[in-house]
Amino acid sequence: MKRWMKKVFKGKTLVLGGLAMAVALSGCGKASEQAATGAASAQPASTAQADKKDAKPVELNFYFSGSANVKEMWETLAPQFEKANPGIKVKLVHLPDGQAEGAAIDKVLGAKKAGQKSIDIDVFETGLSNLTKGEKDGVWMKMDSTIIPNLSKVDAAYMNDVHQLAVPYRASSVVLAYNSKNVPTPPKTADELYDWIHKHPGKFAYNDPATGGAGSSFVQTAIYNFLPADAVHNADPSVMQQWDKGFALLKELGPFMYQKGVYPKKNQGTLDILASGEVDMIPAWSDMGLEQISKKTLPDTIKLTQIEPAFTGGPSYIAIPAMSEKKEAAEKFINYALTPEAQTVVINKMYGYPGIKWSEMPADLQKKFESVAKGYRTFTIGSLGDEINKRWQREVAGGN
């Protein structure tokens, strides 16, 4: 209760609180959402909107989620876009990590189910799991390079992964971060890594998988390395029976972990103890690692590397809800996000990988990212990820 109140008092999130309430009151959701939509999109037909374009700027409602660095990035990009496209205003709606994003996606899904004609979300930035939730119901608009010319710069395989429903505009992956002072030769494969952990008790840590993607990636790869390669794209619960070997490995590694089985909370929790020297090796997000090395919050002896088979990673996507009434402006916005200028901002602010091909990027940036841009695996196991976390909580964390 207390936490909830604190969040609501943060001002901006007031809107979200109201939104969450609207979703929660599912019975009367339809009416209240329409009321909320009222002001933003009074004119139902898109032709009426085109006429008005000259007189009044189109306001794009852009919902995005993520940590402070994502917010900072969009706060830089949006004014640049507005400058290049007078007549379009971008209203940024930041969804802090956690429940707000779920509420917003529920709003999109709920509007579709309730049979509404429009929605006041024009561009949505989200991860793979939310995207697949909406795919069945057809809530996202299909995109191709005829409407968004810069899509030709994006690797076609990534677009095919999501059936052209969203644009991967940036990516990052989990990598191994290690202290090169104490670890001259880092492990190159997963087996070498587990071996290293056994030989250096207390010097490795991964974060509680329910609290951050880095730990979750370590757990998931440990489990799925025992399974056939195509299992990582199988969201069917029958796969769960094959997890035992992986969990046995994690349980067995437990006593060799930091403080014999302490799994810090959040991705930052492990980075903190790596910085203080309590551990020598952790799985970490490449963007967080690179950012903190360059800002000197991690000592410069910390190096990043990828192992084989790779940890998981993945793009963040932007999509256009099919019910948006300002698609034309939304397409322009996405097109802008895929220009090399915008992508350079993405890289510099987020330390992420660009959404467009490396060959489209300036040469000096290509060089800078050589060490981590090796690749990653994308798991699409859907809600099985939650099942892994629950079982981990009981068997691995509960075992000590």
Partner 1 sequence: MVIPSFLILLLVVVIPILLAIQESFKDDDSGSFTLSNYVFLFADKFMRKNIGFTLSLTIVSMVIVILVSYMLAMYLRFNQGKIVDWIKRLYFIPMFIPSVIGTYGMISMYSNHGWLARFVLLAGGDYFPKIIYSYSGILLANLWFNIPFATMMLSSALAGIPNSIVESAKDAGAGRLQILGRFIIPLSYKTMLVTMTFVFMGIIGGFTAPFLMGPNAPQVLGVAMEQMFGAYKEIGRTSATAVFMFVLCSFMGYFYIRSMIQEERS
- Contacts with partner 1, residue ranges (CB under 8 A): 1-3, 24, 98-99, 102, 208, 210-211, 259, 261-265, 273, 276-278, 386, 389-390, 393-394, 397-398, 400
Q: For residue 80, what are the contacts with CB-CB under 8 A and spacing of at least 6?
A: 336, 341, 342, 345
Nearer CB in complex with partner 1: 47/276: 276
Distance (Å, whole) CA 303 – CA 193: 15
Nearer CB in complex with partner 1: 51/252: 252
Nearer CB in complex with partner 1: 180/393: 393
Nearer CB in complex with partner 1: 93/279: 279
- Kindly state the smallest distance separating residue 273's Cβ from partner 1, in Å: 8
Nearer CB in complex with partner 1: 113/394: 394
- Kindly state the smallest distance separating residue 102's Cβ from partner 1, in Å: 6
Distance (Å, whole) CA 50 – CA 21: 33
Nearer CB in complex with partner 1: 152/301: 301
Nearer CB in complex with partner 1: 102/127: 102
- Kindly state the smallest distance separating residue 251's Cβ from partner 1, in Å: 12
Q: For residue 162, what are the contacts with CB-CB under 8 A and spacing of at least 6?
A: 128, 131, 168, 317
- Kindly state the smallest distance separating residue 280's Cβ from partner 1, in Å: 13
Per-residue burial over 111-123, b if 16 or more Cβ lie within 10 Å, else e, is bbeeeeebbbbbb
Number of neighbouring beta carbons within 10 Å of residue 198: 13
The answer to whether 258 and 205 have CB atoms below 8 angstroms apart is: yes
- Kindly state the smallest distance separating residue 223's Cβ from partner 1, in Å: 18
- Kindly state the smallest distance separating residue 272's Cβ from partner 1, in Å: 8
- Kindly state the smallest distance separating residue 397's Cβ from partner 1, in Å: 4
- Kindly state the smallest distance separating residue 279's Cβ from partner 1, in Å: 10
Any idea of the CA torsion for 43, 45, 46, 49, to the nearest 10 degrees?
A: -30
Distance (Å, whole) CA 138 – CA 71: 28
Write out the DSSP string of 191-255.
Answer: HHHHHHHHHSTTSB----GGG-HHHHHHHHHHHHTTS-GGGGG---GGGGGGGHHHHHHHHHHGG
- Kindly state the smallest distance separating residue 149's Cβ from partner 1, in Å: 38
Nearer CB in complex with partner 1: 15/25: 25
Find the angle CA(379)-CA(384)-CA(386) to the nearest 5 degrees: 105
Q: Which helix (H) or strand (E) holds 305?
A: strand 302-305
Residue 192 has phi, psi (to 5 degrees) of -60, -35
Any idea of the CA torsion for 270, 275, 280, 283, to the nearest 10 degrees?
A: 40
- Six token digits for residue 232: 């990582």
Nearer CB in complex with partner 1: 269/289: 269
- Six token digits for residue 371: 């060490």
